[in-house]
Amino acid sequence: MQRKLDLLQRKKEAALAGGGDTRIAAQHEKGKLTARERLTLLLDPGSFEELGMLVEHRCTDFGMDTQQFPGDGVVTGYGTVNGRLVYVFSQDFTVFGGSLSETHAEKICRVMDMAMKNGAPLIGLNDSGGARIQEGVKSLGGYADIFYRNVQASGMIPQISAIMGPCAGGAVYSPAITDFTIMVEESSYMFVTGPNVVKTVTNESVSAEELGGAHTHAVKSGVTHLTAANDLEGIQLIKKLLSYLPQNCEEKAPVLPFEAGTEYRPELRNVIPENPQQPYDMRAVVSGIVDADSFFEVHPLYAENIIVGFARIGGRSIGVVGNQPFSLAGVLDVNASKKAARFVRFCDCFNIPLLVLVDVPGFLPGTDQEWNGIITNGAKLLYAFSEATVPRITLITRKAYGGAYDVMNSKHIGADLNFAWPDAEIAVMGARGASEIIFKKEITSAANPAEMLSNKEAAYAEKFANPYSAAARGFIDEVIDPAESRRKLIKGFSMLEKKATRLPQKKHGNIPL
C-alpha cells in the first residue's frame, strides 16, 4: 500500500508543480499569481476539492508526447466562498501558456456541467495564450464546447469571468457570454485580433494595452464591468459580487439581518439643486436610500450617464439603475441603454428586485446617436424593463421627459410601485422647449418675444413641470417627501417579496439585439 500511496503522492506533487519553478518565477515577476495561488485566495480555507488533477493531454504531434504536465494547464474543481458552493476553473499560464487543449477544455466543461446540475455559480480565472497551437481544430472544438455551455448556463447560474492575463482570439467569447467580467490592470488584455494583425489589416499602430487592456474595456468598449489593480483585488471583487447574488435562478440572494429604525433621511431633501438645470450626483440619492455602505457599482467607467449596481435595502439584495445627472445631464444614449438593459436582464434572471431612480431629460439627439442605432438600442432597455418580472420600484427624483419617462420603468411597462419627489417634472419635454413649439406663432408675433416666451414657459411649467398630473392619473402611486424615501422603499420591497408574475407562454422573446 505504501508504495502505491507514494506513487499517488509523486503524481500529485507533479500536478502541484505546474510548469515548474522557473515559469512560476516568471509569472510572479510579471506581478501575477499562479492558478493555484488565485484559488487559495478565492475559496474558503480547506474547501477546495480538485477534479481532474491528473488529466493529461492526448497530443502526440510536434514533440508533445514527451511533454506532460498533469492537470494540463487548468486547475478545476469546487469549493466555497463565504460558505456557499461555487465551481471554478483557473488557467495555469506556467503550463503551455495556459493554452486550451482538447483535454483542458474537457476539464472546464466538466465543472460547467456540474455547476448547472447542482445550481451553483461558475467562476473562471482566465490566463491563457488561447488555442493550443499544436492541437489545431481539436482545441477550437474545445472552445466551442465551452461557449455552448456558457449559453446553456446563462440565466441559470451566475457566471463570472476574471481576466488575469492574455485572453485573445475567439477565447474572448466565453467571458463575453458570462454575466460579469473583471480585468486586472496592466497584466490582462482581451482582443479578437492583436496589435500585429491590426497593423497588417488597418495599418493602425496600437499597443496591446491600448487595444484591449483593462482601462480600454472599462471605459471605451464596456466589455469589462470592473477593473482591479492586481490579482488579489480582482478576487476580492469576485467575492463581493457573489455576496449579492443567489446561487441560481430558482433561489433568492441571501438576506442580511436587519432591524428597522425610523429610516427617516432628511438629508435627501437637499440633494436636488434649486436650479433645475444644475447637475447632482445620483449616487448621493442611492446612498441616502440603501443600507449603509451597501452600494456596489458595476460598470462605473462606461456610459457614466447611467449608474447600475447592487445594493441592499432592509438587508435584501436589490439592483439599482439610475440616470446620472452629473454626466450628459443623465440623458439616455446608445451605450447607457445597452449597459442598463443587460443589467436589468441579469437581475431579472436571478430574482433580484430592481430600484430605478429617474432623472432623465430624454434620449440624446444627433446623427451619431441615430446612425449608431439609438432606436434599436433604446428599445433594448424598454424591452428589458417590460419583460422583467422581479419586483420593480421607480422613484422619479426630478425630470422624466418624453419617451425616456416610458422607458425608465414606468407604471405602463409593468413597474409595481412608482414614487416621485415633489421636484419631479413628468412631461413630454422641458417647459422652454415645449413653449417654443406650441406657442411659436404667439411668441414670434409678440411685441416682446423674449417676455412672451418666458410667460408661456412659466405657464407650461406651472401646469406640467410637476408630478401631480401623473399622480392624478395614477401613473405615480405617491408623491413623497424625500426624507421618507428609504422607509417607503423598504416597505415596498418587503410588500413585493412574494410577487409572482409569469410572462405569456412562448419559446423566447426577440429582444432587439
Where along the sequence are the contacts to ligand HXC (CB under 6 A)? Answer: 23, 96-97, 99, 129-133, 140, 143, 166, 168-171
How is residue 211 written as a grid cell?
Answer: 487595444
Query: Can you give 474-501 as a three-state secondary structure string?
Result: CCCCEECCHHHHHHHHHHHHHHCCCCCC
> Which of 328, 384, 380, 322 has its CA nearest to residue 355?
322
Q: How far is the CB of 102 from ligand HXC (least distance, A)?
A: 13
- Taking the least distance from each CB to ligand HXC, the nearer of 61 and 259 is 61
Known catalytic membership, residue 136? no
> Minimal distance in Å, beta carbon 429 to ligand HXC?
47
Is the Cβ of residue 193 or residue 243 nearer to ligand HXC in the bound state? 193
Q: Contact 74/107 with Cβ under 8 angstroms?
A: yes
Distance CA 190, CA 173 (A): 10
The residue assigned the cell 452629473 is 326
Minimum separation from the CB atom of position 71 to ligand HXC (A): 15
- Active-site entry in 19, 77, 98, 169: 169
| Residue placing its CB nearer to ligand HXC in the complex, 96 or 296 | 96
Instruction: Compare residues 149 and 345 and give the one whose CB is closer to ligand HXC.
Output: 149
* From 303, 379, 404, 470, active-site residue: 404
- Please name the helix (run of DSSP H) or strand (run of DSSP E) that holds residue 191, with its range, or none: strand 189-191
When the beta carbons of 89 and 296 are compared against ligand HXC, the nearer one is 89
Q: Give the neighbor-by-neighbor strand order of the sheet with 74-81.
A: 49-51, 74-81, 84-91, 122-126, 159-163, 180-184, 226-228
- DSSP sequence for 63-130: GGGG---TTTTEEEEEEEETTEEEEEEEE-TTTGGG-B-HHHHHHHHHHHHHHHHHT--EEEEE---S
Query: Is 169 an active-site residue?
Result: yes
Q: Between residues 185 and 263, which has the closer beta carbon with respect to ligand HXC?
A: 185
Q: Note if 404 is an active site residue.
A: yes
Residue 174 CB, nearest distance to ligand HXC (Å)?
Answer: 9
Q: Which residues contact 202 (CB under 8 A, 6 or more apart)?
A: none
Distance CA 339, CA 337 (A): 6
Task: Exactly one of 119, 141, 155, 170 is catalytic; name it.
Answer: 170
Bridge partner residues of 425 (DSSP): 399
Q: How far is the CB of 64 from ligand HXC (least distance, A)?
A: 9
Looking from the CA of 125 toward its CB, the CA atoms found within 13 Å total: 35
Task: Rank residues 163 and 286 by Cβ distance to ligand HXC and give the closer one.
Answer: 163
Q: CA-to-CA distance for 298 and 339, rounded, in angstroms?
A: 10
Q: Which residue has the cell 449579492?
A: 244
Tell me how far, at minimum, the Cβ of 38 lies from ligand HXC, in Å: 17
Residue from 315, 403, 414, 433 carrying the catalytic annotation? 403
403 is known as an active-site residue: yes
Rounded to a whole number of angstroms, the minimum distance from the CB of residue 193 to ligand HXC is 9
368 CB-near residues (< 8 Å, 6+ apart): none
What are the residue numbers of the active site?
A: 169-170, 403-404
